[in-house]
């Protein structure tokens, strides 16, 4: 992959279609990535236990989040160290973790506690009888996990934190009735490619285009994230920015942050729409839209309105691209250096990861 956008070409069409390449992305890209897992409101009370499956249908990794009675948060593998049964099947409130297959017990920190019929087992228990701890981080009430210890979480979040850290994100409320999943018949990376440029807005999203000033639309790149800044056409439905914001004085309608690998944080004056792009198959993707409300009176106004319509418009073009790239006559394309910096950055990161060199 050429680092210079002016001379670079996109990644090969094969990446979006080849089943064996898709399989290798599980370990080379996703098992090393940070993934969004939800927010702390679900884990408020000591004794809270939440089982989750990381990237269901793809990585399928069973994970367990707990809050113990010392008020500490823990994240661990949800697989019994005895014979591999899922330790916790349903969320709730527990004093300890008990596997229902043969009764092995763990503390809420995942430490082995007891097991019937193991008195004669020698050199037991050892460290490996505890549930393996999983790397996790909390940012503003939002929970992120990483199965490996490669990528530094701070590098992922630093740009967001600096730019919109003033927003009271910990007070935003997850609103399930305004959240939903979409099934897109296209590769996950094609969906990201499309998100990463505003180039298509005037062509594909007529209503959104009316709310945004296309000329003012910019993309800024950071190490493992980027920001597309949506400037409003008028002064309405924009952020009231604090004076120390670097954007103070601008009519910002939306901050569109993309965070490696598959996370999008879209901030609007009403709150936050998180999009998580989950691969299912080489040509099928689940897109989760999670709505976090801040000022409900501003919901569905300005650039942050009609998100369902915008999503369907995006799905439509992305699904058509999935078909287009299977043509014998298409392999790669070139980039617009003024409009597709985000796509170029994404392709550069994919290429590096696939060579194991990030
Ligand atoms: S698998 Fe859990 S106790 Fe046997
Ligand atoms: Fe779009």
Distance 144 CA to ligand 1 centre (A): 28
* Per-residue tens of pLDDT for the chain, all 358 residues: 899 999 999 999 999 999 999 999 999 999 999 999 999 999 999 999 999 999 999 999 999 999 999 999 999 999 999 999 999 999 999 999 999 999 999 999 999 999 999 999 999 999 999 999 999 999 999 999 999 987 999 999 999 999 999 999 999 999 999 999 999 999 999 999 999 999 999 999 999 999 999 889 999 999 999 999 999 987 678 999 999 999 999 999 999 999 999 999 999 999 999 999 999 999 999 999 999 999 999 998 888 889 999 999 999 999 999 999 999 999 999 999 999 999 999 999 999 998 864 4
What pLDDT was estimated at residue 236?
Answer: 74
* Nearest CA among 106, 132, 104, 98 for reference residue 118: 104
CA–CA separation, 149 and 142 (whole Å): 19
Asked, as a colleague might, if the bond just before 266 is cis with ω within 30 of 0, I would say no
Query: What backbone phi and psi angles, to 5 degrees, belong to 164?
Result: -125, 20
Q: Are 280 and 286 in contact (CB under 8 A)?
A: yes
| pTM: predicted TM-score of the whole model, two decimal places | 0.96
Ligand index nearest the alpha carbon of residue 118: 1
Distance 148 CA to ligand 2 centre (A): 32
Helices 188-195 and 341-354: crossing angle, nearest 10°? Answer: 150
CA–CA separation, 130 and 190 (whole Å): 40
The domains of the chain are located at 13-27+152-354, 34-146
CA–CA separation, 261 and 284 (whole Å): 17
Atom 3 in ligand 1: which residue has the minimum CA distance?
102
Give me the CATH code for the 13-27+152-354 domain, please.
3.90.380.10
* Nearest CA among 26, 87, 13, 3 for reference residue 52: 87
CA–CA separation, 272 and 169 (whole Å): 8
How many CB atoms neighbour CB 302 within 10 A?
A: 22
Return the CATH superfamily for domain 34-146: Rieske [2Fe-2S] iron-sulphur domain (2.102.10.10)
Distance 53 CA to ligand 1 centre (A): 19
The minimum-distance atom of ligand 1 relative to the CA of 99 is: 2
Mutate to test the pocket of ligand 1, among 87, 96, 102 (most ligand atoms within 8 A of CB): 102
Distance 147 CA to ligand 1 centre (A): 23
Ligand index nearest the alpha carbon of residue 131: 1
The secondary structure element, H or E, covering residue 278 is strand 271-281
Q: Residue ranges of the alpha helices (H) in the chain?
A: 19-28, 153-164, 188-195, 201-204, 206-211, 307-324, 341-354
Q: Which two tokens stand for residue 339?
A: 């409009």
Beta-carbon contacts of 258 under 8 Å, excluding residues fewer than 6 positions away, are 192, 195, 196, 225, 226, 227, 228, 264, 342, 346
CA–CA separation, 210 and 159 (whole Å): 28
pLDDT tens digits, residue range 182-201?
Answer: 999 999 999 999 999 999 99
Ligand index nearest the alpha carbon of residue 79: 1
Query: DSSP states of 155-169 as a string?
Result: HHHHHHHHHHTTS-G
Mutate to test the pocket of ligand 1, among 97, 101, 124 (most ligand atoms within 8 A of CB): 101
DSSP 3-state assignment of 344?
helix
Distance 79 CA to ligand 1 centre (A): 9
Atom 4 in ligand 1: which residue has the minimum CA distance?
102
What pLDDT was estimated at residue 356?
Answer: 65
Distance 316 CA to ligand 2 centre (A): 10
What pLDDT was estimated at residue 358?
Answer: 44
Mutate to test the pocket of ligand 1, among 78, 82, 121, 129 (most ligand atoms within 8 A of CB): 82
């Amino acid at each position: 992959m050429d680092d210079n956008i002016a001379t670079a070409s996109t990644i090969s069409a094969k990446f979006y279609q080849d089943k064996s390449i898709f399989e290798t992305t599980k370990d080379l890209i996703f098992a090393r990535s940070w993934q969004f897992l939800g927010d702390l409101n679900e884990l408020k009370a000591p004794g809270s236990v939440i089982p989750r499956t990381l990237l269901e249908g793809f990585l399928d990794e069973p994970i367990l989040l707990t809050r113990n009675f010392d008020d500490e948060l823990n994240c661990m593998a949800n697989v019994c160290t005895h014979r591999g049964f899922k330790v916790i099947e349903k969320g709730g409130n527990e004093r300890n973790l008990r596997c229902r297959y043969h009764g092995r017990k763990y503390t809420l920190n995942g430490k082995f506690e007891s097991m019937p019929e193991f008195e004669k087992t020698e050199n037991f228990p050892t460290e490996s009888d505890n549930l393996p701890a999983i790397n996790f981080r909390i940012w503003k009430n939002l929970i992120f996990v990483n199965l490996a210890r490669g990528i530094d979480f701070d590098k992922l979040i630093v740009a967001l934190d600096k730019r919109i850290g003033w927003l009271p994100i910990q007070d935003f409320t997850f609103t399930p009735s305004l959240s939903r999943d979409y099934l897109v018949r296209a590769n996950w990376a094609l969906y990201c490619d499309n998100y990463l440029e505003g180039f298509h807005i005037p062509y594909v999203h007529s209503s959104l285009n009316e709310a945004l000033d296309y000329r003012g639309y910019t993309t800024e790149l950071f190490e493992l994230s980027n920001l597309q800044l949506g400037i409003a056409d008028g002064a309405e439905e924009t952020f009231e920015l604090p004076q120390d914001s670097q954007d103070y004085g601008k009519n910002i309608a939306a901050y569109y942050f993309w965070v490696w690998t598959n996370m999008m944080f879209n901030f609007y004056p009403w709150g936050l729409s998180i999009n998580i792009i989950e691969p299912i198959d080489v040509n099928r993707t689940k897109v989760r839209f999670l709505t976090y409300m801040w000022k409900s009176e501003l919901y569905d106004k300005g650039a942050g309105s009609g998100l369902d319509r915008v999503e369907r418009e995006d799905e439509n073009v992305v699904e058509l691209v999935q078909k287009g790239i299977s043509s014998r006559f298409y392999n790669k394309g070139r980039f617009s250096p003024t409009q597709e910096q985000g796509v170029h950055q994404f392709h550069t990161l994919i290429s590096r990861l696939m060579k194991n060199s990030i």
